Structure formats: structure tokens, C-alpha cells
Structure 1
């Protein structure tokens, strides 16, 4: 069976769940993909409430913004030249996650008061997730944004028999894709949390994520080249 773009993006959504488990539980508290959380963590940290460090959140926000800038320039330039821009974006993401694994090799997970190594890995992962967000937004597959599931969950509930909202696709099969996106994020997060409980180091935790992104990059080459609007 030929792989589908939606299927590959669902796999990447699971990778996000794994990466965020590492970020929040082994490096944080900090997010590297879901930047809404970092904006709030930063606000709470500046206010001195909840014992939340502001440095990790500020670093992640800055690194994510850098990743978005690099991803946008890289992928738009590649598409203008007729290159496979998706592969370039995913390859850059995989390289950054591998760099994070190298920087975190032998580093024990720590929740609260991160050391320099934890901050370095956070910056690398946030840059990777910034590039990923550009890639998924340029592909624009409805219901599978890969780096968050709030909109997918809202659309899933709104289009259900209880929500009954045609604007969200009530009466269509879109709910399956949205439900799978939520499930993929949960599965990735659960996997990461279980590996942390099993005693894996930060570097070991990131190797599976990098390997999956490399595999998705290779499989995507078999699909037709996408074009943005």
C-alpha cells in the first residue's frame, strides 16, 4: 500500500508528543513545540509565581522563532528552485534532533533548575520544532498540524453528532483524521513518559524521534511533490 501524506504527518505528530515529553519532563518545565505554554510559563516566571524558571521558556521561544525564520527562508527558496522542500525541512529537523541527542548523551533527565546541557538541548529541539511547524503549515493538511492538537480536538468535537456543526465538517469523514491526530500526540507523549520512567538519558530519549523523522523523510520521497498555494 502506498503511504499517504496524512499518514506521514500523523507519525510526525507522534514524534512531537515524544519530544514534548522529553522537553517537559526531562528538560523543563518547558515546551519546545507548543509555544503557548512557554508564553504562559514565561509570564508566570517573570511574576515569580509557581516556581517556574523564566530562562528555559525564553530560550525556547527565541529558538523556536529562529527555527521558523530559517524554515520559512529555506523551504520557500527551495520550492522556488523546484527542489524537494519538504525533504529539506525534515532533514534539517532530524539533524537538529540528532544534535540534541548528542548534546544530551549521558545527561540525566531533570525537572526544574536545568543545567547548561539541558538548556542547550532545549534550544536545539525548539529550533527543530520551529522548522517542523513551518513544514506542516506549508503542507496544510486539515486536521493534522503535527505540533499541536487543540484545533484538531475542537474540530473533532464540533463535527461530532453532539456538536453537529457543519462548519467543522459534520457529516463528513474528517473526524477520523482529527481523532488519529489526537491519538498520535497522546501515543508519542505516553511513549516518552514511559521511557523517562525506565531511566533513559536525554540523548537516548531523542534517538527514536530522530530515527522516525529520518524514516519519514525517506518515505516522503516516494510521494508527488507538494506545492503551496
Structure 2
């Protein structure tokens, strides 16, 4: 599907979204009971672990995360189907909404309406997971396969399998390496900042996502060429 901005701006926006994923998964895993809000594979595995007595895992947090993610994905799918013909409004609006929701989450955490433990933590998990369900449902329609923004398994597989050592053409290794670096940086920064503030990490993720939204709304249009057929 056509992306409304030039390739470098597009890649930068997707890397920013990947960084936000690292930031928020640091919050969810380290502060909210060992669950993920962007990586649902981990939550399914945690649910399996929880069936073993004395495993230390519970089903509640992963279930809230899965539920929120599915709700966000449903919303993202419906919006994408309705607005895909107007990509700037669609992508800018979706990621702008995600940024606002993350900002609301940061405010609620900062004012102790939602806390890291107890019953209200499940509301926070649901809200954060909905944000990343929305992101995933949108990104899967437009992003290159090595810029999924939330899961690096295929990115790392492609990096190795397509490399010269494996007999491949080493296609776009810099972009794949950038995706890995963005996720690592987000997770590391999030883990370090969590020692001081949970709300601050969520707010930082909101700003990063807002930057991506601004790129899709205001970034320069792609230049038509012989090998690409991308339109605004």
C-alpha cells in the first residue's frame, strides 16, 4: 500500500514506532507483572507457564493484555479499511490517536489514578495493549516486512538468512540493523528511566509516537521513479 511520505522519512517514522515499543514493553514487563503489551507471543507463552503450579506466573495480566490488544487491532482494522484511500489522514490520525492515548495513560499513572500494582494496573495494561494493537493493525498494512515495529524474529531471521554468509544478497541490512537498534535503545532507556518514573517513560513513548504521526501528516511526498509506484 502506498505510503504518503518519502522513503527515508517513512523508515525514520517506523523506527521511531519501534523505539516506542521498546519503551512501553520495558514498562509492562518490568513494572506491570511480567507481561507484554506489544508482543502477544510472549503473553500466550506466559499463559501456558501459568498452568504449572508454583510457576510464578498468573493468567490475569496476560489476559488483559491480549484483550486490549485485540480491541486495539479491531479498531485499527476498521479505521484502515475506511481511510486507506487517504493515507496521510489515516496514518497521521491513527498514530496521533495512539500518542494521545499514551499521553492519557502517562497522566493517569502520574496522578496515581492507575497504579503499577493492584486492580488498576490491569486497566493500564489494557490501555497500553490497545495502543499497540492499534499500531500493529496499521503497520501491517503499510510497513516493509523488516520494519514490523514490534516483533524482531523475522527481522533477525532475514538479517542472517539473506546475508552474504548465507549465500544471499544482504538486502537492506542497515534497515534491519536499525530496527534491532531502535528496539534495544527503547528497552534500555525505558529500563533505566523506570528507576525514577513510570509515567515519564510512557510520556516519552507518547512523544516518540507523536513524532511519527507528524512525519506521516507533514513529511515530504515520495518522488516517483521507475522502480517504485508510490503516490500521495
Give me the TM-score of the superposition, normalised by structure 2.
0.85
| Conserved 8 A contact 2:194-2:201 | yes
Aligned to 1:131: 134
| Conserved 8 A contact 2:162-2:171 | no
1:23, 1:89 → 2: CA distance? Answer: 22
Q: Residue 53 of structure 1 aligns to a residue in which SS?
A: coil
2:87, 2:199 → 1: CA distance? Answer: 35
1:51 to 49, 56, 63: 56
CA RMSD of aligned residues (A): 2.3
By relative contact order (CA 8 Å, sep 6+), the higher-ranking structure is: 2
2:71, 2:115 → 1: CA distance? Answer: 25
Seen in structure 2, the aligned counterparts of structure 1 residues 82 and 150 have a Cα distance that, compared at 3 Å, is closer
- Pair 1:171 & 2:169 matched: yes
Q: Spell out the pairing of 1:153-172 with structure 2 (5 A cutoff).
A: 153-164=156-167, 170-172=168-170
Could you tell me which runs of 5 or more consecutive residues in structure 1 were left unpaired when the two chains were aligned: 165-169
1:220 to 203, 216, 229: 216
Q: Deviations over 1:32-53 (max 9, x none)?
A: 0000000011121133352111
2:98, 2:54 → 1: CA distance? Answer: 34
How many residues align? The count is 217
1:83, 1:140 → 2: CA distance? Answer: 14
Q: Spell out the pairing of 1:1-229 with structure 2 (5 A cutoff).
A: 3-80=8-85, 84-107=89-112, 114-164=117-167, 170-197=168-195, 199-200=196-197, 202-221=198-217, 222-224=219-221
Q: Deviations over 1:12-41 (max 9, x none)?
A: 101100110011001121000000000011
Q: Deviations over 1:164-218 (max 9, x none)?
A: 2xxxxx2244111111111110010000011113x21x22221110011112211
| Conserved 8 A contact 1:17-1:189 | yes
Q: Residue 73 of structure 1 aligns to a residue in which SS?
A: helix
Give me the TM-score of the superposition, normalised by structure 1.
0.86
| Conserved 8 A contact 2:159-2:170 | no
Q: Residue 110 of structure 2 aligns to a residue in which SS?
A: coil
Q: Which runs of 4+ in 1 moved over 6 A?
A: 225-228
